[in-house]
Amino acid sequence: MAQTFAFPLTLNHVLETGLARAGAHRIHGADGTSRSYPEFAARVARFGAALAGMGLRPGAVIGMLDFDTPAYLEAFFAVPMSGAVLHTINLRLSPEQLVYTINHAEDDVLIVNRALAPLLAAVWDELRPGMQLVFLGEGDTGGLPDGIDFEDWLAAGDPAHVFPDLPEDSEATLFYTTGTTGLPKGVHFTQRQLVLHTFALAAVFGSAPHGSFGPSDVYLPLTPMFHVHAWGLPYLATMLGVTQVYPGRFQPDVTLGLLRTHGVTFTHCVPTILQMLMQEAGEDRTALQGLKMIIGGSALPQTLARAAMDRGVDIFTGYGMSETGPVLTLALLTPEELARPVEEQVTRRVLTGRTIPFVSIRVVTPEMEDVPHDGKTAGEVVVRAPWLTADYLKNAEASEDLWAGGWLHTGDIAVMHADGMLQITDRLKDVIKTGGEWVSSLALEDMLRPHPSVRDVAVVAVPDAKWGERPLAVVVPSEGGLDVAALKAELQKHVDKGDLPRFGIPERFEAIDDLPKTSVGKIDKKVLRARFAA
């Protein structure tokens, strides 16, 4: 037989492709480091040599606890290319969740930014014994035992280290999704999945009439690298060989400085981060000018999108979740939509978007029948794509639910428009099922939030003997206090307009000082339901 080389879809080729294209582009850190792509690749090789020198078991798990740094990007490549699994640890987890996830993942090595070491030191006695520690950054070990210094470790490694040939189905990354119910669940991805996600992004951003991402762009991530590989964009940036900037711990003023200094053109974040950047920029209307920005994580309010566009930001929504690698859809506009006035564009840019290549999306009834694509009929979003987590790690029951019927269940409720634009209207668990009908908690919140007596609001379902569930509005009132009659009258206007069924008006309104938030900054409706269910 001929020695045909069956080319695997592995991450080393993403790195090689970037190396071949990068030219003079560099990878910068907020700490002032600046390296060419060949220097970056040499550090990845040293990193691989250092791991090989540890004599780890095949498929060893390397936990990483860090901000968005160049070292994290090095780990994105070096760890999977070594045949190990990169466990990206969420630095916003509670101490209990930290213990649970590190022990559940069975981490063999922890690479820890010294500034974050106290998080681990506080729970060190509860963590599995025998883990090797590697420290990044400046300072002391924050109460942790001594370990290896990352830079010393790399310096001792061979920059010409040859990585092993690996099959494309090698496990590459692992992290935990906390959700709002139950224990954290481990989602994991193979090298093939990461490569195909990268190619699909390259295809869609390459051929986009706006919001494109190409070799002249300068990239800076504003989502944590522990959160679904910073949405996979660092892999794309590296394959394209573009200039990259890693901002470290998020500080609005520092980030604004980096955007300006490096001429950053492409980023992505949650709405809260955008809001903080705009606040920091204040009267400087040009601080964000020319930025292309994907918004995800939670719904993008039209007012925020419009404000960003007025500052010259090319803003659009992306949709996905931890389980989906993450990107499923992007709200990139068509040339026809781009020709419309800004106020019309905004209504499209905040939608959930259209599928990227090789994503199959259906909006279905509980019986898995497709709902009409009429922009009105809601159903659950179920998906297939080449980069979805195969299951939850060591959790067969939740995996069965996730993949019921051979489609990944997102738990999101959406309508599909005739032109293929998807619009998420709710989380399945946030929908209020009342008298056999669905009422959207998000829609109710959107109707209540603009009222002058409301600073913030969350609507949750509470059990009801007669109707199954009823909506309850939890309001952070503005200075005048909670005015239930005014809010009911506000909602009645929507009933009169036909936006809301009559039974959608809550009987109960409760005041609260602050809405509880989850570790990733979303409103924690689980807590609200528990508190107000009685």
Which residues of this chain interact with a copy of itself, rule CB under 8 A? 1-7, 9, 13, 16-17, 20-21, 23, 196, 199-200, 202-203, 205-209, 212-216, 239-240, 334-336, 354-355, 357-358, 360, 384-388, 390-391, 396, 399-400, 402-408, 419-420
Establish whether 16 is a catalytic residue: no
Q: Which of 429, 433, 488, 522 is catalytic?
A: 433
Between 200 and 413, whose beta carbon lies closer to a copy of itself? 200
Spatial separation of the C-alpha atoms in residues 248 and 331, rounded to whole Å: 28
Establish whether 433 is a catalytic residue: yes
For 78-142, the DSSP string reads HHHHTT-EEEE--TTS-HHHHHHHHHHHT-SEEEEEGGGHHHHHTTGGGSPTT-EEEEESSS--T
Between 352 and 440, whose beta carbon lies closer to a copy of itself? 352
**Cβ–Cβ < 8 Å for 87, 113:** no
Between 408 and 475, whose beta carbon lies closer to a copy of itself? 408
- In sequence order, the 6+-apart residues with CB closer than 8 A to the CB of 316 are 210, 211, 293, 294, 295, 330, 331, 332, 333, 349, 353
Between 216 and 365, whose beta carbon lies closer to a copy of itself? 216
Rounded least distance, CB 112 to a copy of itself, Å: 33
Rounded least distance, CB 273 to a copy of itself, Å: 26
Rounded least distance, CB 280 to a copy of itself, Å: 31
Rounded least distance, CB 357 to a copy of itself, Å: 4
Q: Which of 88, 438, 445, 490 is catalytic?
A: 438
Rounded least distance, CB 293 to a copy of itself, Å: 19
Q: Which of 74, 168, 171, 323 is catalytic?
A: 323
Residue reference for tokens 């040499």: 42
99, 103, 107, 110 alpha-carbon torsion, rounded to 10°: 20
Between 135 and 199, whose beta carbon lies closer to a copy of itself? 199
Spatial separation of the C-alpha atoms in residues 189 and 227, rounded to whole Å: 13
Establish whether 438 is a catalytic residue: yes
Spatial separation of the C-alpha atoms in residues 365 and 438, rounded to whole Å: 12
- In sequence order, the 6+-apart residues with CB closer than 8 A to the CB of 81 are 10, 11, 12, 15, 44, 48, 163, 166
Cα 474 from chain centroid (whole Å): 26
Give the residue numbers annotated as catalytic, written as ranges. 177, 323, 433, 438
